[in-house]
Amino acid sequence: MASTSFFCCAKGFNWREKGKKQPPWRIFSLKELHSATNNFNYDNKLGEGGFGSVYWGQLWDGSQIAVKRLKVWSNKAEMEFAIEVEILARVRHKNLLSLRGYCAEGQERLIVYDYMPNLSLLSHLHGHHSTESLLNWERRMNIAIGSAEGTVYLHHATPHIIHRDIKASNVLLDSDFQARVADFGFAKFIPDGATHVTTRVKGTLGYLAPEYAMLGKASESCDVYSFGILLLELVSGKKPVEKLSTTVKRTITEWALPLARDGKFDEIADSTLNRDFVEEELKRVVLIGLVCAQSQPEKRPTMLEVVELLKGISKEKLVAIENDDMFKSMPNCNGSSGEDDSSDHISSEKELKKEIEKVQADQ
């Protein structure tokens, strides 16, 4: 029975009945994937997560693939597998990871993708590629715009798709360092006319929007929040949540907002850039990141607006963001300058972290 429950996810893909051309993906045999990955050899392993492992492989025609192999079969894993295959089969965009195919034999569940030779953004910011300093400013701007455009495509698909897990490890980089948004296991379809869906909280601490983490309200705006955190991480090289001591943690917004208020954008830039960046673009990305990561969802821009802002198209909107109250350093009653003015923001972030940790502990 286990091997048949998956195929519900393919029911919308009777291409011949609809008069469409054959899909650009196919069903792989388990034997074929064993051969491609050298029997899922440890030396072929690209990474590992809660879902299982990803392996590099080479098909008989010489093309390179990445194969995600689910660790253990379960109803939950089956559902995430089915969702990811269905979404990947529906969407095609230059900034989304392409589906090559899948395998569902017995209790084996495998998804086959195009191989991304530069791995993930995470590996370049915090992983084994971080010491190589391959992410110059131009590449970072291209990654920001490309991943934003991929997310816009999801939000404007029919039905709309919320990713729910936008983060550095889910932005993959091809041979030209072009961004490909990946991993749709937590994604949700939004019915036409609906503003959000209420669902069980999934995602990664540090990237979760407050209304989603505390109330389970998933919307396109939740992806905008996560993307704002990603932008700040991309330009600064800092993690979404930093451990300052055994008991004290600081979010990237707690750190960046006071600096932005004081106009110290160069202090936010990743030190590995050695000050080799376009100042106007740096300021733009930081402001966009912070306005995306606001706690009030109604104040966040849409992803389409984010793309326009990143490209410098919406100059009036950028001026409006610059003049937003959140970036004003108001002196307090003691006459000190505005760094302390972020106390409400910091307090809400700390409360949020406690709430998220409680929610995740209950899962």
* Tens-digit pLDDT profile for residues 158-190: 889 999 999 999 999 999 999 999 998 888 888
30-84: pLDDT as tens digits: 999 999 999 999 999 998 876 789 999 999 999 999 999 988 777 878 888 988 8
Q: Where does the chain hold its CATH 1.10.510.10 domain(s)?
A: 121-362
Q: Which CATH class is domain 2-114?
A: alpha beta
Convert the pLDDT of each residue in 291-300 to its tens digit.
999 999 999 9
- Is 68 annotated as ligand-binding? yes
Q: Mean pLDDT of all residues in the chain?
A: 86
| Residue partners of 161: CB distance under 8 A and separation at least 6 | 87, 91, 154, 155, 184, 187, 188, 189, 190
Question: Six-digit token pair at 57?
Answer: 């492989």
**Closest CA relative to residue 208, chosen from 225, 195, 196, 183:** 225
Model-level pTM? 0.85
CA distance 280 to 271: 17
Q: Are 90 and 96 in contact (CB under 8 A)?
A: no
CB neighbour list of residue 106: distance below 8 Å, 6 or more residues apart: 2, 3, 30
Span 319-329, average pLDDT: 91
Domain 121-362: give its CATH superfamily: Transferase(Phosphotransferase) domain 1 (1.10.510.10)
Domain with CATH 3.30.200.20 in the chain: 2-114
Given the residues 43, 114, 165, 341, select the one marked as catalytic: 165
DSSP per-residue string spanning 46-58: EEEETTEEEEEEE
Question: Is 165 among the catalytic positions?
Answer: yes
**78: enclosing H helix or E strand:** helix 75-90
Q: What are phi and psi of 344, to 5 degrees?
A: -65, -45
Name residues whose C-beta falls within 8 Å of residue 240's C-beta, 6 or more positions apart in sequence. Answer: 167, 204, 205, 206, 207, 229, 232, 233, 251, 252
The better pLDDT of the pair 22, 293 is held by 293
